[in-house]
Structure formats: structure tokens, C-alpha cells
Amino acid sequence: MNPQAVGIVYRKELTEWLRDRRTLISTVLVPLLLFPVLILGFTYLATNLIGKAQKEIPNIMIIGGEDSPKVVAALEKIETLKIVPYAADWKNQISEKTIRAAVEIPPGFQASLETNEEKTVTIYFYEGEIKSSFGAEHIEKSLKEYRDQVVKDRLAARNIATSVLTPFEIKQQNVAPPEKVSGATIGGFIGYLVILLCMTGAMYPAIDLTAGEKERGTMETILSSPVSRLDLVLGKFLLVLSAALATAVLSIFSMGISFAGMRHFNPPAQSGSSEAGALILQLGPKPVLFIFAMALPLAVFFAAALMTIALFAKTYKEAQSYLTPMTFVVIIPAVASLLPGVELTPKLALVPILSTSLVCKEIIAGTYHWSSIALIFLSTCLYAAIALFLAVKMFQREDVLFRS
Amino acid sequence: MIETRGLSKRFNDKKRGQIRAVDNVSFTCKPGQIYGLLGANGAGKTTTLRMLATILEPSDGTAVVCGHDVIEEPEKVRANVGFLSTATALYPRLTAQEMVEYFGQLNGIFGGELKKRVDEIFGRLDMNSFRDRRCDKLSTGMKQKTSIARTLIHDPQVMIFDEPTLGLDIMTARTIIEFIRECRQRGKTVIFSTHVMSEVEKLCDVIGIIHNGKLLAEGPLPQLRQEYSENDLEEIFVKVVGPHYAGAEA
């Protein structure tokens, strides 16, 4: 190997790469914009939509209840509901979103309360429609309050204390620090995105520097120069790796900025509730550094593997058709790491991509299992070395370079 | 100096089985001489020249270029060779100057010496007006000049031209022909493949007629004329290739 020749090839490829709009979009623009748009945009949109839905006073219809004036009066008293007159097409009105929900009070309901006969009140709503769900929740809440009051009255009539119904309380208390809660909730998703962007960042330069070069007719030009094929493939590989890493670095950077921005919109002090707290993610320098270190051998693996496959193709389009299905090969293990209950085991630590995604999830959650980290790093390095070896071998095959 | 000894190349084809693209070809090409490899499409010209430029490795036999064996020392061979064909394109996102400098660097030329050579070649080929223009913005003629500059930057002793005028307009083709002549004048060893008879008649000192991978006839044009009792090169070519062509078609 001649490091000077590798450097010359690398510099030339870098110059061309920086002048290529297509690869710049996939390597620089997408990771820089994806996270802010995805995280900030989604948070803003969700908060806005939920806030609006919560503020709305839903139109509710009462079905029946003519013989139960007390419960109807109790419902009418609720300020967060607007009772509209009964109409026979209430089902249609819920579907059309004219009313948000309807409550059916069975005949003889009020009388049944006196005789202890059990009756069922049914709430009709539009499942999956957030404003309808809020309407149904309001009705259910007020009916529960009414039911509790009936129970209290019954107990009082029998001179029994209400505490008889609750001999003890049950309480859940979270002991995990907020960043671990966040890591478990969205850590896997971050690892998944870093891996995916690492791959997409490598994909276009890998095609451009192999099949693209064949298609443009420059492969024969460079092969006629004194540079050895090993130096040539290493120079090209370093550029593809740089693109993959640039994408990973930019995505981690943009992720950090996005979460900082999200904290600004939704500060922890104000959030209070555990649900809001779960969305707060602290990305300090240590997890960022470790995610980068774990992504490094995977980027080498992607760069070499994609180049090896793309070199088979005669044209840019043909290479794209080979590599597009590869995206699924990457997405499936990365998504598997997001599934609930999938945890890092010594066996899974040997599965490329999945292991990196799982370890990123743990790192973000603040858990550092050093033996697993070492095993994943070394096994991914081994896969990367095999892929690089194959890429070098492939560049020495005349039937691949001059496939007709 | 180029010397081939039993040079052969076999390819495996899924449909046709093993193909002998070049079959036991031996010839010598001396400095200050233009050797013309004449043959129809698919005769084995490009494969022969690619083996001489070490882009392909021979299956059997070998060739020695400027004292270096193409199998044993391919990088040293390439350092002494300038290879030009219509298939050797330019990098579209590099400027003409960057393209030539890149090949200079790959040949171990740097700094002041590289600048001096680039300036000299750009001046000689009248390329200064487009030296900073990207190769994808160049006209065909400008591209050919840049390709020539690319092959000349390391001042190679051997020039290999694989159908260099294929698909070019008359004016651009003339630039190439002039350049090939100039190479001979400078004492370089030149090998040139074509299927255009007029180019061979105008340029070549020695002609090799190749068909189905075999070198069927070789010699200076006057010698071939005498041997085949024909004045016209096209007639000579038909006489040489005809019997084998019929056999191949059958």
C-alpha cells in the first residue's frame, strides 16, 4: 500500500464529491434538516393539536334519559360539555364530527338506582379521533363521579364509612432517572436513525465511485494510471467512509440541537408530569462520543459492503436497484431493536446493525455494559474488515470491472 | 519498446463458454515507430491493447513494455505508458487542469515540476483558454485535448491508442492523428488500433492484421502489398481475413 497514492485518490474523490449536489443533499442536508423537522416539528404539531383538542367544548348528545332527570341534569351541569338536542341520526353525526360523542341512558335508569338493579350506560364515540375521545372521557369522568356519589349515599344510608371500599392504596413510583426513562422510550429510535443515515450517507458516493465511474467511462482511465488497485479502492473507500461519518456526525449534532430546542419549548421544570419528562433527553458529550465510536465500525462496514455490491453494476441505475433493497436489510434489524422487550444479549451482540442499535439505546439510557460494548465493537470491526477485504478483491476482478 | 510473446486472453461467457479473445499473439513495436493493429470489431484489438496497458492480465504468454513485464511489474509498465481510447473519459466534476494534475500526481510528479509540465503541455496544445473549465462543460475537441494532455503529463515512452478517433468529427480526429505523428517524431513507441484503413495507410510504419484474436499478417505496408499482390490496403485486409471470416461465420 502506498499512503501517498491513497491520499491523492482520496483528495480527488473529495473534490468531486463536494461538487456533486446529489451526494451533498443525502450526506449534509438530509441529516441536518431531518432531526429538527422530525423532532421539533412533530413536537410542535402534537402539542398544538392536543392543546386545541383539549380546549374545545365538545357537542354531546343524550340518548334516552327522559325518566332519569337527575343524571341528565348532572350531565348538563358540566361546563366542559355542550349538550345538544337528541336527533335520530346521532351515529351519523358522530361520524360526520358534528357531535363528538353520545351517551345512552337506559330506560328506568334512575329507578334502578333506588332498587340496586344494575344497568349499563353506554358512551358512543369515534375511536382514533382525538376530539371525540376527549368528549367521551369527559362524559365518563362525570358519570364516574355521579356513580361514586351514589355509592357514598348508599353507604351513608347503611351507616358504613366510605373507607371500607379502599382498605389500602396502591401507588407506582418511578426510580429510574429521567434520562434512563427517555433512553428506554426514544433511545432505540435515535440509534436507528443514526444507523440509517450512516447508510444513506454512504450509499450515493458508493454508487458514484464505482458504477457511476464505469458508466461515465472513467474507470478505464484511472486503471491505466500507475496507481495500484489496492490504493485506488482504499482512496475511494475512505471517501465513502467520510461521507457516512459526516452524515452520522451531522445527524448526532442536529439531534443534540433539536433536543436542546425541544427543552426550550417544553422545559422540565414546567412539565412536571412523568409523561412530559419522558420526552426530555439529555445528550451529553459522553453518550455522543460513544454513539459515534459504535457507529464508526458500522460505517466502515456500510462503506465497504455498499462499494462491493455497487461495483457489480454497470450503471448508476442498476446499482441503485441493487442497493435500494439493502435499505430494508438495514431497516429490519434496526427496527427490531425498537420492539419492546428486545434487549442486548451476548447472542444479539453478534448480529450486525441490531447490536449497534441496541447498544445505542443503552448508551442513551446511561447504561454502559462494557463487555457488551467491547463485544459489539470488535464483532462489527471484524464484519467491517471482511467487507473491506471483499471490496479490495472485487476491484481486482476483471469480470466485475469490465462486465458487459 | 513493446514486445509481446504468445499473448493470449480467454474469457468465460455464460452462453458461449470459453472465448479466446486474443490467441498467441507475438509482435514487436520499436521506438520511433507506429505499429497499427488493424481488425474488424471484436477482432481482439482492444483486449490486446488493454493487456499492454495492464488493465487486463494475460491468460497465457506475456508482454514486455519498456523493459517491464506486464504481469510481473504492471505499475512500472503503466508509469511508462500513455493510454488513450474513446472509452477513457474525463472526470466531469474536475477542471481540465485538475484532471491533468491528478494524473501527474499519480505518476509521482508534484510541486514546481508538475506546474511546469502542465503549463508546457497546456501551451503546446493551446488549452489555456479552458484550463479552469469543468470537464463536463468542455466541447468534444477540448475533451480530446485534455485526454491527450492527461496521457502526456508523465512523458511516457510508450503510447497506446485504442481506436482514438472513433465517433469523432473530422477536425477533432485530425488533432489526434497529428498528435500520434508527433509522438513518433519524439521517438516514442506507438501502438494504434483501428478499423479505418485510411488512418493506417497515413500513419503506420508496421501493420498487424488481427482477426478472431489471431495475428494473421504483419509487416510494413510495402511488404504486405508485395506479399498479397495488392496495392489497396482494404483488398489486402480482405485477402488476409476473408478465408477466416467465412470460417468464423460458418
Strands B158-162 and B81-85 turn out to be parallel
User: What average pLDDT does this structure show over A341-346?
Assistant: 77
B106–A220: do the CB atoms touch at under 8 Å? no
DSSP H helical segments within B154-220, as ranges?
170-185, 197-203
Query: CB–CB of B81 and A12 under 8 A?
Result: no
pLDDT bin (cut points 50, 70, 90) of residue A4 is very high
Cα–Cα nearest to A19, from B132, B98, B103, B92: B92
pLDDT at A182: 65
* Cell reading at B138: 468542455
Provide the mean pLDDT of chain B. 88
Give the percent of chain B with pLDDT over 70: 98
Residue A8 to residue B108, Cβ atoms within 8 A: no
Which pLDDT score, from 0 to 100, does residue B99 have? 95
Cβ of residue B18 closer than 8 Å to a chain A Cβ: no
Between B246 and A400, whose confidence is greater?
A400
Residue B132 clears pLDDT 70, i.e. is over it? yes
- Architecture per CATH, domain A53-165, reads as 3-Layer(aba) Sandwich (3.40)
B118: left (phi over 0), alpha (psi -120 to 50) or beta: alpha
- The pLDDT of A331-352, averaged and rounded, is 80
Cell matching residue A81: 360539555
- Output the CA torsion sign for A314, B82, B43, B231: positive
Strand order in the sheet with B158-162: B81-85, B158-162, B189-194, B34-38, B206-211, B214-219
pLDDT in tens, B149-190: 999 899 899 999 888 888 778 887 888 888 889 889 999 999
* Residue B16 DSSP symbol: T
Inter-chain CB proximity A225 and B92 less than 8 Å: no
**Average pLDDT rounded to a whole number, residues A368-383:** 87
What 3-state class would DSSP assign to B195?
Answer: coil
Per-residue pLDDT tens over the stretch A111-127: 888 787 888 899 999 98
The share of chain A scoring above pLDDT 70, in percent, equals: 91
The mean pLDDT value for A280-292 works out to: 72
pTM of model > 0.95? no
| Between residues A361 and A210, the one the model is more confident about | A210
ipTM of the complex: 0.88
Mean pLDDT computed over every residue of chain A: 83
Share of chain B above pLDDT 90, in %: 50
- pLDDT tens for residues B35-62? 999 988 888 899 999 999 999 999 999 9
Which of A6, A10, A221, A404 to mutate to probe the B interface, most B CBs <10 Å?
A221
Q: Residue B9: which residues within 8 A CB-CB, separation 6 or more?
A: B20, B21, B22, B44, B47, B48, B51, B56, B58, B59, B213
The pLDDT value recorded for residue A336 is 81
A32-76 confidence digits (pLDDT tens): 887 788 777 777 787 888 888 778 888 899 998 888 888 888 888
CB nearest to A20's CB, from B85, B87, B93: B93
Residue pLDDT, tens place only, B194-247: 888 888 888 899 999 999 899 999 999 999 999 888 888 888 988 888 777 654
Mean pLDDT of A6-10: 96
Between A193 and B38, name the one with better pLDDT. B38
Q: Highest mean pLDDT range out of A18-32, A227-241, B81-95?
A: A227-241
CA distance B132 to chain A (A): 14
Per-residue pLDDT, A30: 80
CB contact under 8 A, B107 and A226: yes
pLDDT for position A279: 43
Domains of chain B: 1-80+176-250 (3.40.50.300), 86-155 (no CATH)
- For residue A5, the distance in angstroms to the closest alpha carbon of chain B comes to 6
Give the closest residue to B145 by CA, choosing from B114, B176, B104, B167: B176
- For residue A267, what pLDDT is reported? 55
CA angle A16, A19, A23 (to 5 degrees): 90
Residue entry with cell 429538527: A36
State yes or no: pLDDT of A263 exceeds 70.
no
Task: Please count the other Cβ atoms lying within 10 Å of the Cβ belonging to residue B170.
Answer: 7
With CA atoms as reference, the chain B residue closest to A229 would be B75
Q: Span A134-161, mean pLDDT?
A: 87
Identify the residue whose cell numbers are 465493537.
A377
Question: In this complex, do B79 and A226 lie within 8 Å of one another by their Cβ atoms?
Answer: yes
Distance from CA of B83 to the nearest CA of A (A): 6
Domain parsing of chain A, residue ranges: 3-42+177-401, 53-165
Residue B72's φ and ψ, nearest 5 degrees, are -75, -40
What's the pLDDT score for residue A292?
A: 82
pLDDT at res. A276? 37
B79 interfacial to chain A (CB closer than 8 Å): yes
| Mean pLDDT computed over A336-361 | 80
> Mean pLDDT over residues A219-242, rounded?
92
Instruction: Name residue B211's beta-bridge partners.
Output: B214
Of A8, A224, A226, the CB nearest to B88: A224
> What pLDDT score was predicted for residue A295?
85
Cβ-nearest to B87 among A8, A217, A399: A217
Average pLDDT over residues A307-312: 92
Q: How far is CA A382 from CA A298, A352, A376, B81, in A?
A: 10, 10, 10, 39
Question: Residue B85: left if φ>0, alpha if ψ -120 to 50, beta else—which one?
Answer: beta
* Mean pLDDT on A296-303: 90
C-beta separation of B3 from B63 below 8 A: yes
| pLDDT attached to residue A280 | 46
